[in-house]
Amino acid sequence: MASKGSAGLLNFFIFNSKYGAREGEEEKKVMFYFPEEADIDTKVKNIGLAEAIVQFTSTFSDLPCQSMHTQKSRQLYLEPEPGFWMAMTVSLPYKEKTKDGQPYVEYREDDVQDSVFAAVLDFAYRMFKLFNGTFEHILQRADGDVETLKQRLGHFYNKYLLTLKLSQCDLLDVFNGIHFLPLDKNTYLRIQCFINQLEAAFPTVKYTAFLYNDKLVWSGLEQEDMRTMYLYLTTSLFPSYNLQEHQGGSQPRRFMTGPPDLSDDKAIGKLPRVFVSTDTENEECYLLVYRAMSATICMLINVKCQLNVQLCRKLDAMLAPQMTKLASDIKEQHYQRAAPPSTTDPMFKYIYFNHMNLAQQTTVHLDLQKRAGINIPQEIMRLLGDINADLTRSNHDGETIVKTTSDFWVVGKKSDSREFYVVINQKNANLIEINEEVKRLCTSHLNSVFFLD
């Protein structure tokens, strides 16, 4: 049996050359290194190599070096804050093969896409920033004590990196968009008014976001803050809450974060703090998340404000009836909406993304969080990633149509700031037919937006 390997994380490190400028003090540059158990020589060597590469390449281009390709691995670089570099090394998938009776290993370089893993690295930083603030901010608060920063990094990334599923990363990670809930205007306005009333009645609630299932309805946060928080909510908080509720079986817990039991004045429960930059940079807030049926409301309360179980009880008294009503109304509306089967034509799958509002839609993935996988072959998914990389590079509106050897037609279109990818599995179709088909899809799915063909 020939052995196989998939993309995996070899190492992940953060360094800042400023802290170990003198020879012999190289290890001071290390802010964080994964795997932790690697010996100091390996750490220093790998960091030295990465440092050398980014330094060296900077003489040729104004743009920083983004990645390095080797036979067996791929290394990606990111300088999220001046002087701080993050690097991540991913092993290439391989397969042992025999040729002329000789076994050899085939590394599949094309299976690891720069754009996808650059996005993974980028979000590794953003996620840290959401819960800890920027590196500089931590240093400032610790009066420049770099050990505090190192502790924070270690504390966060040692857990975070274990949750990465690199082999499942794809185009959706590049977009990292937000699924918006389609909703009629009246219900939307009611939600809006409800939030306004909440914020007026509880001025400590500074920002609010409203979700239904895993889809966003309203965000009082700025787009970038919301993007990261949305990722946290949908990939981490909600799944673990759902799991707990599933096991619990008792009365559902309404505060996802915060007090588990409103009658206990002392237990405020687990209450994450997040750093947002909506009003001011690095504003630290408690993230209080409340759920009623499938509707979720995230309330951000500045850490300077008093947050106790009493306040939560008051919030609950207002939220419980209104949220339940809204949730059941939304549910009913969606039930009616879903009545005619939306995918009458199972022949095609699509991904849509709008850079302007980060709205994304996919029928390629079985669920929004990609837990259940995709319903097109892996290589087609990768092809989508490649087309996206091409379209992104050219920076112009354009269209690419590809026919694969496996009889799939793959179409990628970009217009203004929107991207639309369609996968059609239709044998014996010709280019003209596919072009017509995609036009038809555009008119039916993107009717209300200005999308040129």
Q: What is the C-alpha separation between 278 and 222, in angstroms, rounded? A: 5
Q: Does 448 bind another protein (CB under 8 A)?
A: yes
% helix, strand, coil for the chain, step of 5 = 40, 25, 30
- Candidates 19-27, 47-55, 95-103, 196-204; binding stretch for another protein (CB under 8 A): 196-204
The residues in 358-417 that bind another protein, with binding defined as CB under 8 A, are 359, 397, 415-417
| Exposure class string for 363-398: b at 16+ Cβ within 10 A, else e | bbbeebbbeeebebeeebbbbbbbbbbebeeeeeee
Nearer to another protein by Cβ, of 2 and 193: the residue is 193
Q: Which of residues 407-436 bind another protein (CB under 8 A)?
A: 415-418
Residue 93 gets which letter from DSSP?
A: P
Letter for the amino acid at 445? Answer: H
To another protein, the closest distance from the beta carbon of 209 in angstroms equals 11
- Closest contact distance (angstroms) between CB of 158 and another protein is 34
Q: Considering the rule CB under 8 A, would residue 223 count as an interface residue with another protein?
A: yes
Closest to another protein by CB, 186 or 378: 186
Q: Which of 78, 169, 183, 289 binds another protein (CB under 8 A)?
A: 183
For residue 180, state whether it binds another protein (rule: CB under 8 A). yes
3 CB contacts (<8 Å, ≥6 apart)? 95, 96
Rounded distance, CA 204 to CA 181, Å?
27
Q: Is 219 in the site for another protein (CB under 8 A)?
A: yes
Give the Cα separation of 194 and 95 in Å (integer).
56
Find the shortest distance in angstroms from Cβ 179 to another protein: 13
Q: Judged by CB under 8 A, which stretch of 67-75, 183-191, 293-301, 370-378 contacts another protein? A: 183-191
Beta bridge partners of 193: none
Q: Using alpha carbons only, what angle is made at residue 310 by residues 307 and 314, rounded to the nearest 5 degrees?
A: 100
Q: Is 335 in the site for another protein (CB under 8 A)?
A: no
Pick between residue 66 and residue 400 the one whose CB is nearest to another protein: 400
Q: How many residues does the chain have?
A: 453
The reply on whether position 190 binds another protein by CB under 8 A is yes
230 and 237 Cβ atoms separated by less than 8 Å: no
- 332 lies in the binding site for another protein (CB under 8 A): no
450 forms part of the interface with another protein (CB under 8 A): yes
60 binds another protein (CB under 8 A): no
**Contact present, 376 and 349 (Cβ < 8 Å):** yes
List, in order, residues 6 or more apart from 403 with CB less than 8 Å away.
409, 410, 431
- The neighbour count for residue 62, using CB atoms within 10 Å, is 5
CB nearer another protein, residue 190 or residue 331: 190
Choices 53-61, 156-164, 219-227, 290-298 (CB under 8 A): range interacting with another protein = 219-227
Q: Segment contacting another protein (CB under 8 A): 8-16, 254-262, 350-358, 367-375?
A: 350-358
Q: Which residues sit at the interface with another protein, rule CB under 8 A?
A: 180, 183, 185-186, 188-190, 192-193, 196-197, 199-201, 218-223, 226, 354, 356-357, 359, 397, 415-418, 448-450, 452-453
